[in-house]
Amino acid sequence: MTTSPKLDAKIPDGQLEQKWTKYRSTVPLVNPANKRNLEIIIVGSGLAGASAAASLAELGYKVKVFCFQDSARRAHSIAAQGGINAAKNYQNDGDSTYRLFYDTIKGGDYRAREANVYRLAEVSANIIDQCVAQGVPFAREYGGMLDNRSFGGTQVKRTFYAAGQTGQQLLLGAYSALQRQVGLGQVEMLTRHEMLDIVNIDGKCRGIIARDAVTGKLERHFGHAVLLCSGGYGNVFFLSTNAMGSNVTAAWKAHKKGAFFGNPCFTQIHPTCIPVSGDHQSKLTLMSESLRNDGRIWVPKRKEDAEAIRTGKLNPNDLKEEDRDYYLERRYPAFGNLVPRDVASRAAKERCDAGFGVNRTGEAVYLDFAFNMKYKYGKKEATKKGIQNPTEEQLTELGKAVVKEQYGNLFDMYQQITGVNPYENPMMIYPAVHYTMGGLWVDYNLMTTVPGLYALGEANFSDHGANRLGASALMQGLADGYFVIPYTIGAYLSNEIRTKAIDTNHEAFEAAEKSVRERLEKLKNINGTKTVDYFHKRLGKIMWDQCGMARNEQGLKQAIADIQALRADFWKDVRVPGGLNEFNPELEKAGRVADFLELGELMCRDALNRNESCGGHFREEFQTEEGEALRDDENFGYVAAWEMTGDANWELHREDLKYENIKIAQRSYK
Amino acid sequence: MSGNMNLTLKVWRQKNKDDRGKFETYPVQHISPDMSFLEMFDVLNERLINEGKDPVAFDHDCREGICGMCSMFINGRPHGPLQGVTTCQLHMRSFKNGDTIVVEPWRASAFPVIKDLAVDRSAFDRIISAGGFISVNTGNAQDANSIPIPKDDADAAFAAATCIGCGACVAACKNASAMLFVSAKVSQFALLPQGQAERQERVLNMVAQMDAEGFGSCTNTGACEAECPKGISLSNIARMNRDYIGAQLSVQKA
Amino acid sequence: MSWLTRMFSSTIGQKLIVALTGLFLCTFLVVHMTGNLQLFKDDHGMSFNMYSVFMTTNPLIKTVSYILYFSILFHAFKGLHLAYKNMKARPVGYAVVNGKANSHWTSRYMGILGTIILVFIVVHMNDFWAEYKFGHIPYVQYTENLESGEITAKPYADEAGNPKSIANKAEETIVSINGVDHKITITKDLYAEVAETFKNPLLVALYLISMFAIGFHLYHGFQSGFQTLGLNHPRYNPAIQFLSTWVFAIIIPAGFAAMPLYFLLIK
């Protein structure tokens, strides 16, 4: 197995610990006078985009930022709940850069690049400093110092947080920094603009075509470099925890213009989401991972009981303890309910597929707080208050108060969405698509295979390998934007100081705009009989059934055929109302779904190619006797980077992953 | 799976900012009480498209109450009848079968209608650009634990910082005043030691921009606080008034 | 633009003017109310009339009174000006507004309540202040027995019964009648004017309505003034709330309302 000659990761030589420091000190620089003449386009204004835009503008580059929302502050980074990891070792519990690096590689099931992950761990501490200086109000202890919590897959407390709204606070910090540069005239912010193509000239990315969503006008924008910070593509599944507008379009257009797509099949399914309640459902809502600390996950032991619960004949509270199957505790006694996300998700699916699911759709399991409410917290409180021989009711009441204090807002949200009181009844949860580890392949500089085109944050194939640990997405997005790209972009731009701004009347811009216009007109003129959502829901179902938590060869092949047929039908029969030159959300949606219909096929092809199970990618053919994921490091210890060679035609390139500082081992949680 | 609620929607339709606009009435059937309010609009739009009509344009994105994009004025209240909830988190079980629901866009001269229920809230961004930040370039920062911040101050700053910028405060205010929004940002930084260096400049500049955008003045009705989906407190407005007056009287400039 | 104009042309600065003038007017109301309580004194209005003289002749009070007139005008002008600007901030209104769900009605109708009060002030000042200053209020002569404290009053007139006047607003002399010292006080009889005016039920009705308006206006206005000044503190808010409800929304308007009712129904 050797790395494809088309993939040069440009990893600096030297000791792992020295690579970044040394590289950072030797990477070519652009002098301040030249920076003023260099234009950088940034697509997306989430953690990666906003932090990159602010940092680059501070350095003196001329920056243009595009986002499809009405404000940079709406980017979906805002919805991240839990926290952000950083190797600060404030808790004196033995954390270090190496340990964060190690946990991330292991958590990613050994499918991430050592050098990138080490750099991520290194800059993680700077992120916290930067954010605090910006006024991000992280949670603090009474002494005034920063507080930490622990998260899955680690043995130290290194997660910084701001209640359950860490993503919001970090994004608002980056957004403030960005808006400051807007006020200073260093950044031009174009909201309600969607990038619809990149423009390559002489083999380099030189700009984008964007559509003004309010007027419908197509615009040409030149840049010496283009940064895609457009997030993940979980919405290919229709239902996910992503925002409604989250899409793959920017990354996909880049892919079609030469950027390789890395590990598209690596998707993270989060185990604790509120289950689907009906086919009207438009999105899924996450319930924080922290709930698994006190909630016990179970389904009935007997199918008859599950059936009775589904039809409403049996109240789960009445089911006897011995008739319940706490399957995570049964299967993974060492980690119990706190196994990593991929493992927990698969186990829930296994039980529901076997007929033990509990809500009307049969696709839900219980997350039950009654036991810990009573015996963990209730007893403790009773002891504290000196109550001798408390009754069961007393214990429940005492415990409820504690649970309310810890998880009150989550419980309220659950009740708001489901109409069920989670203090009285066990919560119902089911896994849902949450994050995509795959994305545009980038080298150590975060540059894609197209010179001058970069991908940051969730949009790149990232440092998370095949599975991302909790509280690491925020860390990566901000690391890329604040502390990586400002240095690494110099490697490219230092050679561009003689490039004058290219007139957007250049034929390449002309051609790109024409093809964008034609595609929009084509979408509009089909004037078929089915709505965009109809196709999106169908695609989502195919992806979820065949390329979701568990995949197999036959299903993936079927999915590829089904997606091809659905795509053909889409281009024959979709109906897009309204005009091109007006505010037209359906038109925007149609373009995004058209791209998802192509991406879905590539994801299935990638999943089909990867004949192993690792992290979020579980191939049913490749599992241990106990039903655990079976990795094949010898044959699949690589990044799969797909090059689009024609319409729905791809060529696979491999980047061999070398582990020189970590010993590869099988993950076990038993 | 469909539900059993039948409702009448009176929805504001306006083709663009120059159009006069008017209400259209749409009956919607078989609505499930488990649907969110926006999912009910998805159902309506699906039907309108199938009927060859123009669907209702409305802003929305995360649908979990945090991005601040959704913005409907429902039966005379921003984000509808519940407190502490955005439109996307409002569910149909909060309504009764047979109800008539009037849905309007946020209304303020500073928030011009783009189409139907979608409005332009870029005025908020411009206010933030005027001073809603701490001027610290990337790399400038000292160690995060070098300044201890009392927990109560950190918590209060956080409470102010939870503003999602949806504009419900402006929509609810009879004067279309943006004081709650602006004061939340001013307060967040006023409560933190990092925010002190620019404290006076910040409040002066942000208020000046707020006024330039054409928002009304605050008459302390408290409607903003009552309708804010994140419960941002009126005490922030008092703090901003205090800081503003103090800054005007004492800032070291002629 | 100087910083002062910049400050007072901002929305917060303009609100500051409304708040400062409003709170000053609140203090005036306390004084006015306390002084006017002398209407209830059973001395043929002598205390009240002397109080009127004091209020119109003391140089300090006179100065303050000019600030007062200015405050009334400025408060009303700024308030109405802001109300107008606030209406312009929402050029297209809502079809349905459920204001009671999120705010107290008094806070939403301050402009209207204030306008009622402004009309009232014009009527009120025309009735008494202008009459007292420029009109022809007859003089009264009080004779107070300094030993027994007994007071008698009679119109200040010549033998034919024609009203007489004096150059000053009041004159006091001590005379000995039957060996007992008496104080003769001649002053304008505003008291009689008040008593006469409040015999008109329509006018009394206007006063009562206006006192309701003042009560409701102050119920919101007093505490709102503190909020605008930035004085919002969990420790002191209850006290402000108490004062605004009990003193300014109830006791003061009730006290003022009692005066016309007293003359209409009891005197």
Q: What is the CATH number of the domain that holds B33?
A: 3.10.20.30
- Inspect the interface and report whether the beta carbons of C11 and B220 lie closer than 8 Å: no
Q: pLDDT at position B1, please?
A: 45
Task: Give the structural domain span for A144.
Answer: 39-268+435-493
What is the number of other CB atoms lying within 10 angstroms of the CB of residue C147?
10
Judge whether B247 is closer than 8 Å to chain A, CB to CB: no
* For chain C, domain boundaries: 3-91+100-135+193-266, 139-188
Q: pLDDT at position C135, please?
A: 85
What is the number of other CB atoms lying within 10 angstroms of the CB of residue C35?
15
Q: Do B154 and B221 share a structural domain?
A: yes
Identity at A70, one-letter amino acid code: D
Angle at A270 (CA atoms; ends A171, A620), nearest 5 degrees:
140
Judge whether C5 is closer than 8 Å to chain B, CB to CB: no
Cα A376 to chain centroid, rounded: 34
Q: Do B164 and B223 share a structural domain?
A: yes
Closest-CA residue of chain A to B82? A416
Residues of chain A in contact with residue B162, where contact means CB-CB under 8 angstroms, are: 165, 168
Residue A406, pLDDT > 90, answer: no
What's the mean pLDDT in B235-252?
94
Task: Give the structural domain span for B137.
Answer: 122-250
Sequence-ordered list of residues with C-beta below 8 angstroms from that of B200, at least 6 positions apart, any chain: B243, B246, B247, B250, B251
Identity at A44, one-letter amino acid code: G
Closest-CA residue of chain B to A170? B161
Distance to chain A for B245, nearest Cα, Å: 23
Count CB pairs under 8 A between chains B and C: 144
- B74 three-class SS: strand
- B102 three-class SS: strand
Better-scored residue on pLDDT, C26 or C165? C26
- Inspect the interface and report whether the beta carbons of B238 and C230 lie closer than 8 Å: yes
Q: pLDDT at position C177, please?
A: 87
Chain C interface mutation, best of B11, B187, B221, highest count of C Cβ atoms under 10 Å: B221
List the chains bordering chain B where 3 or more Cβ pairs fall under 8 Å.
A, C
Determine contact, residues B107/B121, Cβ cutoff 8 Å: no
CATH number at residue A348: 3.90.700.10
Determine contact, residues A54/A174, Cβ cutoff 8 Å: yes
Q: pLDDT at position B2, please?
A: 62
Q: Do B177 and B131 share a structural domain?
A: yes
What is the number of other CB atoms lying within 10 angstroms of the CB of residue A383?
12
Q: What is the mean pLDDT of chain A?
A: 94
- Closest by CA position to B157, among listed A129, A132, A404: A132
- Inspect the interface and report whether the beta carbons of B215 and C89 lie closer than 8 Å: yes
Interface of B with A in 163-192 (CB under 8 A): 164-165, 188-189, 192
- Selecting among A74, A220, A331, A341, the annotated active-site residue is A341
What's the mean pLDDT in A606-631?
94
Q: Do B11 and B89 share a structural domain?
A: yes
Sequence-ordered list of residues with C-beta below 8 angstroms from that of A164, at least 6 positions apart, any chain: A81, A82, A288, A409, A410
Domain count, chain A: 3
Q: What is the pLDDT of residues A506-546, one digit of tens each?
A: 999 999 999 999 999 999 999 999 999 999 999 999 999 99
Q: What is the pLDDT of residues A450-459, one digit of tens each?
A: 999 999 999 9
A641 backbone dihedrals φ, ψ, rounded to 5°? -115, 120
Q: Do A156 and A220 share a structural domain?
A: yes
SS in 3 state form for C68-84? HHHHHHHHHHHHHHHHH
With an 8 Å CB cutoff and a minimum of 3 pairs, decide whether chains A and C touch. Answer: no
Cα–Cα distance measured from residue B117 to residue A382, given in angstroms and rounded to the nearest whole number: 53
Judge whether C1 is closer than 8 Å to chain B, CB to CB: no
Q: What is the pLDDT of residues A165-176, one digit of tens each?
A: 999 999 999 999
- Closest by CA position to A84, among listed A169, A161, A151, A168: A161
Q: Do B188 and B130 share a structural domain?
A: yes
Cα–Cα distance measured from residue A151 to residue C143, given in angstroms and rounded to the nearest whole number: 92
Domain boundary among A399, A418, A433: A433
Q: Is residue A7 part of a domain?
A: no
Q: Do B173 and B73 share a structural domain?
A: no
Question: What single DSSP character describes residue A319?
Answer: S
Q: Is residue A426 part of a domain?
A: yes
Q: pLDDT at position C21, please?
A: 97
Q: Do A257 and A121 share a structural domain?
A: yes
Determine contact, residues B215/C89, Cβ cutoff 8 Å: yes
Better-scored residue on pLDDT, A408 or A265? A265
- Lowest mean pLDDT across A439-448, A644-653, C133-142: C133-142
Cα–Cα distance measured from residue A6 to residue A642, given in angstroms and rounded to the nearest whole number: 11
Residue B117, pLDDT > 90, answer: yes
Residue A667, pLDDT > 80, answer: no
- Inspect the interface and report whether the beta carbons of C89 and B175 lie closer than 8 Å: yes
What's the mean pLDDT in A5-10?
96
Residues of chain A in contact with residue B130, where contact means CB-CB under 8 angstroms, are: 183
For residue A6, what are its two tokens? 């088309």
- ipTM topping 0.95: yes
Q: Is residue A670 part of a domain?
A: no
Q: pLDDT at position C1, please?
A: 64
pLDDT tier for residue A1 given thresholds of 50, 70 and 90: low
CATH number at residue A556: 1.20.58.100
Count CB pairs under 8 A between chains A and B: 235
Q: What is the pLDDT of residues C83-104, one digit of tens each?
A: 999 999 999 999 999 999 999 9
Question: What single DSSP character describes residue A146?
Answer: B
What's the mean pLDDT in A434-447?
97
Interface of C with B in 88-127 (CB under 8 A): 88-99, 101-104, 107-108, 110
- Which CA distances in Å does A233 have to A273, A459, B65, B89, C66? 18, 8, 21, 23, 71
CATH number at residue B210: 1.10.1060.10
Beta bridge partners of A629: A623
Q: Do A481 and A542 share a structural domain?
A: no
Q: Do A159 and A60 share a structural domain?
A: yes
pLDDT tier for residue B238 given thresholds of 50, 70 and 90: very high
Distance to chain C for B78, nearest Cα, Å: 10
What's the mean pLDDT in A409-430?
90
DSSP string, A279-299: TT-----B--GGGGGTPEEEE
- Inspect the interface and report whether the beta carbons of A416 and B89 lie closer than 8 Å: yes
Q: Do A200 and A156 share a structural domain?
A: yes
Q: pLDDT at position A409, please?
A: 77
Q: Do A316 and A375 share a structural domain?
A: yes
Question: Which of C14, C91, C220 is closest, CB to CB, to B109?
Answer: C91
Q: pLDDT at position A442, please?
A: 98
A341 is catalytic: yes
- Inspect the interface and report whether the beta carbons of B235 and C220 lie closer than 8 Å: no
What's the mean pLDDT in A66-70?
97
Q: Is residue B110 part of a domain?
A: no
Identity at A620, one-letter amino acid code: E
What's the mean pLDDT in B149-168?
96
Better-scored residue on pLDDT, C133 or A500? A500
Domain count, chain B: 2
Determine contact, residues A261/A438, Cβ cutoff 8 Å: yes
Q: Is residue B115 part of a domain?
A: no
Q: What is the pLDDT of residues A26-38, one digit of tens each?
A: 999 999 999 999 9
Q: Do A447 and A342 share a structural domain?
A: no
Q: Do A253 and A304 share a structural domain?
A: no
- Inspect the interface and report whether the beta carbons of A168 and B15 lie closer than 8 Å: no
- C48 three-class SS: helix
What is the number of other CB atoms lying within 10 angstroms of the CB of residue B166?
29
CA-CA-CA-CA torsion sign (A251, A253, A254, A258): positive
Residues of chain B in contact with residue C108, where contact means CB-CB under 8 angstroms, are: 174, 221
Beta bridge partners of A198: A208
Identity at A380, one-letter amino acid code: K
Interface of B with A in 187-246 (CB under 8 A): 188-189, 192, 194-195
Q: Is residue A142 part of a domain?
A: yes
Question: Which of C10, C98, C107 is closest, CB to CB, to B221?
Answer: C107
What's the mean pLDDT in A255-280?
94
Residue A464, pLDDT > 50, answer: yes
Cα–Cα distance measured from residue A285 to residue A276, given in angstroms and rounded to the nearest whole number: 9
List the chains bordering chain C where 3 or more Cβ pairs fall under 8 Å.
B
Determine contact, residues B189/B134, Cβ cutoff 8 Å: yes
Q: Is residue A31 part of a domain?
A: no
For residue C156, what are its two tokens? 């200040």
- Inspect the interface and report whether the beta carbons of B165 and A214 lie closer than 8 Å: no
